[in-house]
Copies of this chain bind each other. A is one copy, B any other.
């Protein structure tokens, strides 16, 4: 076979696998959004069958042989095709290095751990979850051995979510970050609590909330001809193709900002996935390079844009009209303050911009210690509570509001948490460059004109797909390795002004 025939063959095989995975995504989407309750068991079987077939097809020896032969002829390949081979190799090794019987055992333990966790969280009973978490940690350490690593077994796990990143790199960024953010919230806390405005203490119409989220999504550049928004218990973004990227949101009648910020967040994810290069369609290049980069897109739109004063200057009138007469008398600044209240809290997913990363650092420190063997599972609650006191100044009343709050560990996911905070840092670092490149940015935002921002993101992030690794991408675009300073500067400027205190 000629090189180009080999390449076509690789694309045909991976194309079928991509089609199957897209079908899996459609089945998942339907399950979360529209499936009737009794459809669950059959849907579980269908998902298992499709996933198994996709895995079988992708990990077939033939795929490995095609990769070997193409790697031998790497110098004959165009640059994009070389990257295609590199990325397919990465996925192939990930999928084949771990033996099938281990995967099966892992899946079984996962589902037991998940069951145990849901009960343990409900009862705030860590002891009931402990043996399962011990098994999960043991299996993850084993998995790291299969996958291989240079320094810490955690690196092998982290690489699944944030390519080529290591525990020590993350640590060197997170440790000073936590110290600085912790001090910052102490200063903000010293100004006394920000009172909840009276107009927030009422119910807000669901249809009006949803219509408003759709207007904002449309303005952001989300293409409703290549996607749709529905409701689900937990908001998410899912794509079946770059021309069919769907988002979900949830509406809280007591909070007019919950659906909105959720939709903007998912919209940021969705713009990334609608923005891959058209020529990359049905190849691994039309995929997010990492969860951290993905999160940088959602967080940038949600926080840097959606929680900015210019944004609220623009949407103030429409938002008031949607919720008239409930918001009569609110000024843009009132809305801006309301979406930016800082208050240390026990639950990560409810945390504000100033405290969010501290939750993540806490999770990261505990899970690295578990994987590196310096912390016993039995000591997790104590470690969690101590860090919660240290970073956020809070006492944890029970484990349901502490180390049992998140689903991730019960799913066997460690290495996932850091990507949330990395997303914030990437977002700020990219945004610094965006503000430099687009001097009219805030004037544009103040009139709801997001096309220049989206254009910048398309060119500098979305269209890259998997061509660059995360750190490479950040350095390529900003000229500097990933760092925490831009995010800290962003927080200092924004919240220093909001709270009238030097941070």
Contacts and interface: CB of A to CB of B under 8 A. Distances in A.
Interface of A: 15-16, 19-20, 22-23, 26-27, 30, 34-39, 41-43, 45-46, 49-50, 53, 223-228, 240-241, 243-244, 246, 281-282
A16 B36 CA distance: 22
A69 B30 CA distance: 40
Given A22-B42, A43-B240, 20 more contacts: A15-B49, A16-B49, A19-B49, A19-B50, A22-B46, A23-B27, A26-B30, A30-B30, A35-B244, A36-B224, A36-B225, A36-B227, A36-B228, A39-B241, A42-B240, A42-B243, A42-B244, A43-B241, A43-B244, A45-B282
A20 B50 contact: yes
A53 B41 CA distance: 23
Interface of A is mostly: helix
Q: Please give the count of copies of this chain that the complex contains.
A: 2
A-B CB proximity, top 8 nearest: A42-B241, A39-B244, A19-B49, A38-B243, A38-B226, A19-B46, A38-B225, A23-B23
A23 B50 contact: yes
Contact of A53 (B38, B45, B53, B227): B53
27 contacts: A15-B49, A16-B53, A19-B49, A20-B49, A20-B50, A22-B42, A23-B23, A23-B50, A26-B26, A26-B30, A34-B34, A36-B224, A36-B226, A38-B223, A38-B225, A38-B226, A38-B243, A38-B244, A39-B226, A39-B241, A41-B243, A42-B243, A42-B244, A42-B282, A43-B241, A45-B282, A53-B53
A56 to B, nearest CB: 10
Nearest to A21: B46
A244 B36 CA distance: 7
A24 to B, nearest CB: 8
Contacts of A37: 225
A39 B223 contact: no
A241 B35 CA distance: 12
A476 B42 CA distance: 32
A446 to B, nearest CB: 30
Contacts of A27: 23, 26
A287 to B, nearest CB: 14
Contacts of A244: 35-36, 38-39, 42-43
Contacts of A36: 224-228, 243-244, 246
Contacts of A228: 34, 36
Contacts of A224: 36
Nearest to A29: B30
A430 B120 CA distance: 55
A188 to B, nearest CB: 43
Contacts of A246: 36
The residue in A39, A223, A246 that gathers the most chain B C-beta atoms within 10 A of its C-beta is: A39
A453 to B, nearest CB: 22
Contacts of A30: 26, 30
Nearest to A230: B34
A300 B35 CA distance: 28
Nearest to A242: B42
Contacts of A243: 36, 38-39, 41-42
Nearest to A227: B36
A45 B240 CA distance: 11
Nearest to A41: B243
A50 B53 CA distance: 10
A39 to B, nearest CB: 3
Nearest to A241: B42
The residue in A41, A43, A225 that gathers the most chain B C-beta atoms within 10 A of its C-beta is: A43
A22 B46 CA distance: 7
A275 to B, nearest CB: 14
A41 to B, nearest CB: 7
Nearest to A37: B225
Contacts of A15: 45, 49
A26 B24 CA distance: 10
The residue in A16, A26, A46 that gathers the most chain B C-beta atoms within 10 A of its C-beta is: A46
Contacts of A223: 38
A244 B15 CA distance: 29
B45 A19 contact: yes
